[in-house]
Structure 1
Amino acid sequence: MSTTPHVVITREPTGNVIAEGGDELAVTLLKRAGFVIETTPRSFWYRLPWDMGEERENQMASHAARMLTAVGYQVELDADLDVNRITTPTDPRGKRVYGHQILSLTDQLNGAGSYTGAASLVQHIVDPEDGVLVRLGEFFEAAAVQANVADTDDGWHLSHLCEDAAATLTSLAEDMRDAGLQMQRLGPPWKRSWQEGVATYYATAPRPRTGATPDVAEPSVTPPNTPRPGRSR
């Protein structure tokens, strides 16, 4: 299985942003994105003009990558050049692109302002034809085939694991196929986010009992009025 990208866009240690690979159409798109040609007697490549500043270079490199990807090229873009890349503390270079796309969808769901909006986001996951669950099932089916090709005990074991994962996802997709519609039917639009809902819950929830009984004040004892001893006449 080849993983060689069609086009590589990277920043050199000198600071130059260069692009290599591709064919005639890729070259045309790179030129349109602002790259200029550099040649030597034995090779050629493309670079962005000098003295543009890193921020502008990153924007142009990201734009070129989007153009190339849109027409089917596989593009390897340096993480430091990608202005659209999502990063996390566990993936500071943003290499887990597809996981971050789901993370972005989760963030949108957390901030949804209505059940209709939430339902639309849920549908991206549970759609029976093109939802994430269905596509993940297909992914593990393909992984099972690839593992089986190894024709070894480890390969067969991994293939069975992937087949089980695919079956689980297929079943889950079937169970969840109407989740978007059910979400939409939950009620009228709401305006607060889930964070606000949690905050409201804790602000209004009754305080738990500690089991201690309140102190009972003991009744005061007033001594009876007794006559003072006096002189008798």
Structure 2
Amino acid sequence: MTTDTLLDARDIVSGYGPTRIVDGISLSVPNGGGLALLGRNGAGKTTLMCTLAGRLPLKEGSIRLSGSEVGTLSPSQRCRRGIGFVPQERQIFATLTVEENLRVADLRGDWTLERIYELFPRLAERRQNGGAQLSGGEQQMLAIARALMSDPVCLLLDEPFEGLAPVIVEMLLDVLIRLRRESSMAMIIVEQHARMALDVAEQAIVVERGRIRRSGHRDELLLRWNEIEDMLAVTH
């Protein structure tokens, strides 16, 4: 592991009960780097993300953040160390207002309410609305904003564009690209729309049956895009 490595996961094994869904995956992300996790449904991407975030126990392997082992820590402890997580289900508090959702996650870092509202003007407009009163796109904005309020050094995003209208997807994509460009925060993104994920992240791995089948720089993968598309194609 180089001194520039922020998140370093080695030989990760995890799953549900005795079932090994992630079977020996290793990955690393440098400070300020971006990594896309690509693969078919059921390949193990979400399981891997939940394991990195502490939502699932690590059966084998190690997870190190800035050189320190975090694989045995709870999700809240990992959050305080700098791992932010935007789950696929969003999991915002439906009975709390937008602002209350944000204040719950505030760890008094660089991200303030003012900075969040500048990034997401729509949340500023809806700050007194309850979570249940938001559209799907607004809920996704809030889920990302809440993760940012914990001041992460590494942000994990699991299917951030799923089920959203194209105009919202375009706006969120612009936000993520802006975050990559203007901050030193690293980012790992799972996304079915592979080309969008590669707009955000310069490195990618293709996961199949819990193992890495292909990895490389964005430019390398785009040169072999027909092969990558075959790997990602849904089978029936």
Same fold per superposition (TM over 0.5): no
Question: Considering only CA atoms, is the larger Rg found in Structure 1 or Structure 2?
Answer: 1
TM-score normalized by the length of structure 2: 0.21
TM-score normalized by the length of structure 1: 0.21
Identify, as 1 or 2, the structure richer in helix. 1
